[in-house]
């Protein structure tokens, strides 16, 4: 069948919104008609080839929609189910079996490879294969075939246009706080970067009842928003040098943060995050950087603190468990996603990317 899709063709180029052919769902796949899809920084860096997903490709990995068909072997998802889509995993490697699918030993191939295991793609344009199965889903298409393990069934009344970003960005920020760092009640927490991922982390720190919540960013409007969402302190990195940022965070946290999160992927922010940790503090990195990026830390000083530094993928989440938890928090008014999201028609995808890049919109979501 034919469907409309946005095709990434090269670094920095506009998406080509055009008709493509999509095949039938294969074994272990679900065909979904999309309602909405979040726009994530990872889409931009893959379009720009920080990671080597073969182009041309249909990207998009925060999809939400309704099931139209199921492939052979899928018996726990039905036509008509409302679903959110998240990352792909094999389900059988030692990490998946241990409940850590974000560290699936086949993660890169299943999420960035652009092909099924047999080398086929779900999309073609004429005789040309178009990379598919980005994060198991490739949701910048009106209809797409999705790996079953990327699918999370949600209640039919769930607002798909609002909840779509739970599949990656918001799950990443909130999960880093609740799953990986496990922020304690009354503790101090600092987040570097007050974009969508950072704001989700901040909201999760509020849920965790952290006593001191510090947001660090370069954009004054984002810091104002962070205060509205629960930050007890903000630090304007554009007005302070690196030593000033670290000093301000240490002062706000009474000598050093119990927990810290870098959502930026910036080597400078990563160093500041490690420098602001207090005794036995725990810092985590979720911000993506280009492959080969190196960052320094002061190991002579940080060793004396007993601090822990973690790398964290997808909020260390099991999507089928964590996404329903976030939906429940939202329903109870404790995770106000609506304060982060702005919707765009699918035809304005490039504008959504631009507004995300400039900071005009915290979390763009395109609606089909």
CATH number at residue 298: 3.40.50.720
Residues 248 and 179 in one domain: yes
In a domain, residue 327? The reply is: no
In a domain, residue 317? The reply is: no
> Residue 273 forms beta bridges with which residues?
none
Q: Which two tokens stand for residue 242?
A: 């690196």
Residues 206 and 307 in one domain: yes
Domains in the chain, number: 2
Residues 161 and 115 in one domain: yes
pLDDT digits 0-9 by tens, 281-309: 999 999 988 889 999 999 999 999 999 99
Distance of alpha carbon 277 from alpha carbon 262, whole angstroms: 12
**Whole-number pLDDT of residue 240:** 80
Q: Name residues of the chain where pLDDT drops below 50.
A: none
The model carries a pTM of 0.95
In a domain, residue 320? The reply is: no
Residues 84 and 224 in one domain: no
Domain that holds residue 100: 2-167+336-367
Residues 116 and 20 in one domain: yes
**Whole-number pLDDT of residue 162:** 96
Residues 136 and 205 in one domain: no
Distance of alpha carbon 29 from alpha carbon 18, whole angstroms: 24
Residues 203 and 276 in one domain: yes
* Four-residue CA torsion sign, 184, 187, 190, 194: positive
Q: What is the DSSP letter of 141?
A: B
In a domain, residue 319? The reply is: no
Q: How far is CA 266 from the centre of its chain?
A: 16
**Whole-number pLDDT of residue 243:** 86
End-to-end CA distance of the chain: 17
Residues 163 and 176 in one domain: no
**Whole-number pLDDT of residue 270:** 96
Residues ≥6 apart with Cβ < 8 Å to 87: 61, 101, 102, 107, 111, 135, 136, 150, 167, 168, 314, 319
> Residue 33 forms beta bridges with which residues?
66, 143
pLDDT digits 0-9 by tens, 164-221: 999 999 999 999 999 999 999 999 999 999 999 999 999 999 999 999 999 999 989 9
């Amino acid at each position: 069948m034919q469907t409309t899709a946005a095709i990434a063709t090269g670094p920095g180029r506009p998406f080509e919104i055009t008709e493509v052919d999509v095949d039938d769902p294969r074994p272990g796949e679900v065909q979904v008609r999309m309602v909405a899809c979040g726009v994530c920084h990872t889409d931009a860096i893959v379009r720009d080839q920080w990671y080597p997903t073969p182009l041309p490709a249909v990207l998009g990995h925060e999809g939400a929609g309704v099931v139209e068909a199921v492939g052979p072997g899928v018996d726990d998802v039905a036509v008509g189910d409302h679903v959110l889509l998240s990352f792909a995993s094999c389900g059988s490697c030692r990490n998946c079996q241990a409940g850590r699918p974000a560290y699936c030993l086949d993660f890169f191939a299943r999420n960035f490879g652009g092909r099924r295991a047999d080398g086929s793609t779900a999309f073609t344009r004429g005789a040309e294969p178009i990379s598919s199965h980005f994060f198991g889903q490739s949701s910048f298409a009106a209809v797409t075939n999705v790996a079953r393990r990327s699918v999370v069934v949600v209640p039919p009344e769930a607002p798909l246009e609002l909840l779509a970003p739970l599949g990656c960005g918001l799950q990443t920020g909130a999960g880093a706080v609740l799953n990986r760092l496990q922020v304690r009640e009354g503790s101090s927490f600092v987040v570097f970067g007050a974009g969508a991922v950072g704001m989700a982390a901040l909201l999760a720190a509020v849920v965790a009842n952290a006593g001191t919540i510090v947001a660090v960013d370069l954009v004054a409007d984002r810091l104002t928003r962070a205060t509205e969402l629960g930050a007890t302190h903000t630090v304007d990195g554009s007005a302070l040098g690196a030593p000033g940022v670290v000093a301000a965070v240490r002062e706000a946290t009474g000598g050093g943060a119990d927990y810290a999160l870098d959502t930026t992927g910036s080597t400078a922010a990563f160093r500041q995050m490690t420098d602001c940790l207090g005794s036995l503090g725990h810092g985590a990195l979720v911000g993506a950087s280009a492959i080969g990026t190196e960052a320094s830390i002061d190991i002579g000083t940080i060793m004396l603190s007993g601090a822990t530094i973690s790398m964290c993928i997808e909020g260390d989440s099991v999507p089928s468990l964590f996404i329903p938890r976030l939906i429940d928090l939202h329903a109870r008014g404790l995770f106000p996603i609506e304060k982060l999201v702005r919707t765009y028609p699918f035809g304005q995808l490039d504008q959504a990317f631009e507004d995300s890049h400039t900071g005009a919109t915290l979390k763009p979501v395109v609606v089909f």
